[in-house]
């Protein structure tokens, strides 16, 4: 990865060998801490199990997962849009992700695509390219939002259902081994409330933090956990997926 020796944590940090959300509000908005924490938990599990060999971080931005996945892989390459709003400090290859990627067939063992697919206008092209550059047996790890606000406008094109993701990835030449809903109704409601509170003056940010903390405490106990699990089929915040070549 370009400038790997200068890499600094951004959205995610390591705490006691666990992937966690950053306390820095310039890197992670107050109203997005709940969903970011859930995403981090899924990537921690997925990276431990599937990341290996040569890894490509697609739409890498500030490479927020690099601090965790680097120990599991042999080499990391990164690709992102030219003039990404997250900067190109760590980008090895700047290109349009709507077009064929400038890599040879079967070049990577692992591909990470975190919060990227919703920002790609031609997602089937990217999924097909992902399949092409993965080695047989290689893994794609990705997450996408579903019941979530518009972000990085105007380049926020899609929200995918479980069925849309399955169709898209299979059409691209991949088979799904993990399809996991991220959160359910309690998390969706807390995320929505927190994002509105976070922009309120004076005590808004503190209230946003409190709402998200309360929701996390709720879904860790019996009734809350059941409410989240049972509603996740219809009301997920998003999805975490592992697909293989």
Domains of the chain: 4-184+235-244 (3.40.50.150)
Select from 129, 91, 82 the least CA-distant residue to 107: 129
**CA 14 to CA 194: how far, in whole Å?**
24
Give the pLDDT mean for 189-207.
Answer: 97
d(Cα 56, Cα 77) in Å, to the nearest integer? 5
The predicted pLDDT at position 57 comes to 98
pLDDT for 85: 87
Taking 90 as the threshold, does the pLDDT of residue 83 lie above it? no
pLDDT, tens digit, 9 for 90 and up, residues 116-142: 999 999 999 999 999 999 999 999 999
Mean pLDDT for the stretch of residues 1-10: 97
Percent of the chain with pLDDT over 70: 100
Banded pLDDT at 71 (limits 50, 70, 90): very high
Tell me what pLDDT residue 182 has: 98
User: What average pLDDT does this structure show over 102-119?
Assistant: 98
Q: What is the dihedral of CA 109, 115, 121, 126, to 10 degrees?
A: 0
Reported residue count of the chain is 245
pLDDT band of residue 213 (cuts 50, 70, 90) is very high
């Amino acid at each position: 990865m370009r400038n790997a020796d200068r890499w600094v944590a951004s959205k995610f940090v390591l705490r006691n060998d666990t992937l966690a959300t950053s306390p820095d509000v310039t890197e992670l908005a107050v109203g997005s801490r709940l969903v970011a924490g859930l995403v981090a938990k899924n990537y921690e599990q997925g990276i431990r199990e599937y990341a290996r060999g040569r890894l490509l971080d697609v739409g890498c931005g500030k490479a927020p997962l690099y601090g965790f996945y680097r120990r599991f892989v042999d080499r990391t390459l990164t690709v992102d849009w030219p003039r990404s709003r997250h900067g190109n400090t760590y980008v090895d290859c700047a290109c349009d992700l709507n077009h064929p990627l400038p890599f040879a067939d079967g070049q990577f063992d692992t591909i990470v695509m975190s919060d990227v697919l919703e920002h790609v206008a031609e997602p089937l092209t990217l999924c097909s390219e992902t399949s092409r550059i993965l080695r047989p047996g290689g893994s794609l790890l990705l997450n996408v939002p579903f019941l979530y606000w518009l972000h990085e406008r105007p380049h926020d094109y899609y929200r995918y259902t479980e069925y849309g993701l399955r169709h898209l990835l299979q059409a691209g030449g991949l088979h799904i081994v993990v399809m996991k809903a991220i959160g359910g109704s309690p998390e969706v409601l807390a995320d929505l409330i927190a994002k509105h509170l976070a922009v309120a003056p004076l005590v808004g940010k503190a209230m946003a933090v409190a709402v998200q903390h309360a929701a996390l405490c709720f879904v860790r106990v019996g009734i809350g956990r059941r409410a989240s699990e049972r509603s996740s089929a219809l009301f997920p915040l998003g999805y975490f997926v592992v697909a293989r070549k």
